[in-house]
Structure 1
Amino acid sequence: MTEACTLKGMTWSDPRGYDPLVAASAAFQERYPHVTITWDKRSLQGFESTPVEELAQAYDLMIIDHPHVGEVVADGCLLPIDRHGAPEVLARLEAETVGKSYHSYFYGGHQWALPVDAACQVQVIRPDLRPTPATRLTEVMAEARDGRVLWPLRPPHVLMSFFTLMANIGSAFPVTRDLPIDRAAAKRTLEAMQALADLVDPACHGMDPIAALDALSEGDRFALIPYTYLYAPYAKDGYRPHIVTYHDIPAEGESGPLGSALGGTGLAVSARTTHPEICTEFALWVASAEVQRGLYTANNGQPGNAFAWADPQVNARFGKAYHQTRMSHEAAWLRPRHKGYMGFQEAASHIILDALTGKCMHDAALDALQSRFTESFDG
């Protein structure tokens, strides 16, 4: 008789992060009756900031954010998925992944998580208030002058917009210490952000994507969010009082909707688990096209698998959110992932927000940004 096995998982508290994993765990237990997986959850802010090493001490399975992988490698707290995952299965998942999502968890020669959720900054509109998306930032400015724009600027999302716009104008933020920040491009980006920030409600400074989407979908004042992370369930009928639709980002550069800062989440296995094989098998199964286009999306999940993104039935349930933002996701920009990056992300977010709220001059902010980025490689 197979010995009973209970695994603990940690995810984030939004239905998109919690519901599909609970459903997947129940279905997995039907395949392996001796395996029980329970899930705890933490806030979005906690998800973005809690060290993976801390979670790995208490959990077998974890949903992680890809910028943590440099710390993961240095701390040795996660089990490489390729330790127990078959090469042919991993190769198939890599080929089936939207954009750089699979690659975002590959670091130091190993795969540290599997992309079960793909996201980047996209544009959201209320189709009853604005029938078509903005294609240029200038259109967003016109709506902002009429008080119809929301923009989540709570750290780290203010920095994500900065990254997105820098990449969109053709000079992406550096990912290595030997390449300095393009000062002219960074200044142009900050000036564009300042012009928009001066027009939106100051309440945006405290909003994350969920708060902004709630405000957009529950009232009648706002028509557009130009840059925020995709949360596909908001496009479902009945999820909120009003349906929103998702679209590619409005461009500031001349090459269309490229450069959006990549987000999403990956399913990882703790190096401390006493059940590495079954944890790896669960992760591979959840990331598969079968699960991603089926029970995962049926339970508020936002898939990372391209077969799910292309599925007509999945798109029909989510207002064509995946079809209509595919270009932004395929052309998304991958953040730095070195060991000191997470500390830099926190500091840089407040530097940019301080600049937009008049607490420091733009030139001083850019000096501080370069200094903190350089220092982040010395930890």
Structure 2
Amino acid sequence: MRPPRLHGSGETVVLRGMTWSDPRGYDPVVAAGAAFAEANPGVTIQWDKRSLQGFESTPVGELAASYDLMVIDHPHTGICVAEGCLLPLDEWLPAEALQALANETVGKSFVSYAMRGHQWALPIDAATQVQAHRPDRGPRAENWAGVIAAAQAGEVILPLRPPHNLMCLYTLAANIGQPCASARDRLLPRAAGLAVLEALLAVSDHVDPACHEMDPIAALDALCEDGGRLRLAPLTYLYKGYANAGYRQHAVAFSDIAPLGQSGPLGSALGGTGIAVSARSAHPALAAGFAGWLAGADCQRTIYAQSNGQPGNAVAWADPAVNAPVEGAYFATRQTHEAAWLRPRHAGYMGFQEEGGELLTEALRRRLSPEAALDALDARFAASFATD
């Protein structure tokens, strides 16, 4: 569908946008920006990009000083609200448009950017930890016991570079019905923490130590290579490109997580991205209008999905034409996404996420006992609320 006509004055307007460097993060916003500019003469949207690691760690406040549009990760919401660096989109977009996006969200993607009565970003990309496997090398794992058996056979790769190791802890804890961060003074109950660390160690003890330096992209790249016995990445964020024929040497199949608990594929640590507008933008109405269109069903199931994008809109996720190129990856992981767990988003959270991932590395490398690791995680988590 043609983008909305929001600029007709003939004035030259340049909007600057920042996204992340993976084709999934860069290609669709560039394509959408070009289509929007064509429908709005005089408007240009210029996109810059940063690495995945930079995307996960760069303070949004720094970006808001230079960019009109920013693709952000929802755990940054709290610090953004505290610093006042983002535009409250509910004050710039029609209520009906926001209600439609709320109704069309995949899981908690829409509410992950809501805080203190305002909507600070709109979901454009939905992702959570799912399972990936090589169908040519065997089946998926049906439960965590199957994951452990595959790890013992040398068939598992697991991205454990911080913060992804912490995401694994989050996912397994929520999956057994003991979600993290339910109280300010501890990350998770001690018995649950020990059980989850035991389940993680039963896998991490048997994977290549290089996993501790791998993010999901590196792990999926390794899974797609010729040679070796790797069959399974039991917890990795959905990267739909790896299901595309020809994207790598071999395609992978994505599916719901293999549960540790008894309630099915629930509790996966939510990821994905949203589009936000800087509070310092000189063109807030135009930037907000673009953001609203970018997140909407018409854009998401057409130009966004067709340009390497991984949509965040449920209308696109349910579209057979969107699923066809990725071998039904959206259909096959929908339950996990709908039942995903929402990470903390308070102002001090990002500091804890960085520190917590490093602590967990020490525990999974057997340099720190599970009890000591949980003590340290609880203490750091409690301290992260000091600025709130």
Q: TM-score, normalised by structure 2?
A: 0.96
1:349 is aligned, of 351, 357, 372, to 357
Shift in Å at residue 176 of structure 1? 4.4
Q: Identify the range of structure 1 (355-364 vs 245-254) with the bigger mean alpha-carbon deviation.
A: 355-364
SS of 1:149's equivalent? coil
Matches within 5 A, 1:51-62: 51-62=59-70
Change (3 A) 1:178 1:145: closer
1:99 pairs with 2:107: yes
Residue-by-residue CA offset, 1:29-74 (whole Å, 9 max, x unaligned) = 1110211001000000000000000000010000000000000110
Aligned counterpart in structure 2 of residue 154 of structure 1, from 148, 161, 183: 161
Match of 2:41 among 29, 33, 46: 33
In structure 1, give the amino acid aligned to 2:200: M
State the match for 2:194 in structure 1. 187
Name the counterpart of 1:323. 331
- Alignment partner of 1:369 is 2:377: yes
**Aligned amino acid, residue 301 of structure 2:** R
Look up the match of 1:216. 223
Please, which of 163, 179, 184 is the counterpart of residue 177 of structure 1?
184
How far off is 1:273 after superposition? 0.3
CA contact (8 A) 2:182 2:188 kept: no
Give the Cα separation in 2 of the matches to 1:176 and 1:30.
Answer: 50
Instruction: Note if contact 2:211-2:219 (Cα within 8 Å) is conserved in structure 1.
Output: yes
Q: CA deviation at 1:178?
A: 5.7
The structural deviation recorded for 1:219 is 2.3
The aligned residue for residue 143 of structure 1 is: 150
SS of alignment partner, residue 241 of structure 1 = coil
Shift of 1:258: 0.3
CA offsets 1:101-134 (integer angstroms, 9 cap, x no match): 000000111000000000000000011111x321
Q: Secondary structure at the match of 2:359?
A: helix
Q: How does 1:167-316 map to 2 (within 5 A)?
A: 167-177=174-184, 181-221=188-228, 222-316=230-324
Indicate if the aligned counterparts of 2:82 and 2:347 stay in contact, CA closer than 8 A: yes
Amino acid at match of 1:196: V
TM-score normalised by L of structure 1? 0.98
For 1:12, the aligned partner's letter is W
Letter in 2 for 1:44: L
Percent identical among aligned pairs is: 60
1:162-200 Cα distance to aligned partner (Å, 9 max, x none): 000000011000244166621100110011111110001
SS in 2 for 1:218: coil
| Distance (whole Å) between structure 2 residues aligned to residue 372 and residue 43 of structure 1 | 27
Residue 113, structure 1, aligned to residue 116, structure 2? no
- The superposition leaves residues 193-250 of structure 1 with CA deviations (integer Å, 9 ceiling, x where unpaired) of 1111000111101000000011111223211100010000110111111111100000
- Whole-Å separation in 2 of the counterparts to 1:305 and 1:106: 16
Unaligned 5+ segments in structure 2 are 1-8
Confirm or deny that 1:6 pairs with 2:14: yes
Distance 1:319 1:91 in 2: 30
1:240-276 per-position Cα deviation (integer Å, ceiling 9, x unaligned) = 1111110000000000110000000000000000000
CA distance in structure 2 between the partners assigned to 1:46 and 1:269 by the alignment: 19
Of stretches 174-183 and 350-359 in structure 1, the one that deviates more from structure 2 is 174-183
Structure 1 Cα separation of the partners of residues 11 and 123 of structure 2: 30
**Deviation at residue 135 of structure 1 after TM alignment:** 1.4
Distance 2:281 2:80 in 1: 15
Task: Specify the code of the residue in structure 1 equivalent to 2:306.
Answer: A
Change in 2 beyond 3 A, CA 1:31/1:176: farther
Alpha carbon RMSD of aligned pairs, Å? 0.9
Q: Is the 8 A contact 1:287 1:305 kept in 2?
A: yes
C-alpha distance in 1, partners of 2:182/2:27?
34
Q: Distance in 1 between matches of 2:183 and 2:46?
A: 39
Structure 1 gap segments, 5+ residues each: none
Please give the secondary structure, in 1, of the residue aligned with 2:196.
helix
**Is 1:79 aligned to residue 87 of structure 2?**
yes
Q: Distance in 1 between matches of 2:280 and 2:38?
A: 25
Q: Secondary structure at the match of 2:131?
A: strand
How many residues were matched structurally?
378
Equivalent residues of 1:187, 1:362 under 8 A apart:
yes
* Equivalent pair of 1:98/1:118 in contact (CA under 8 Å): yes
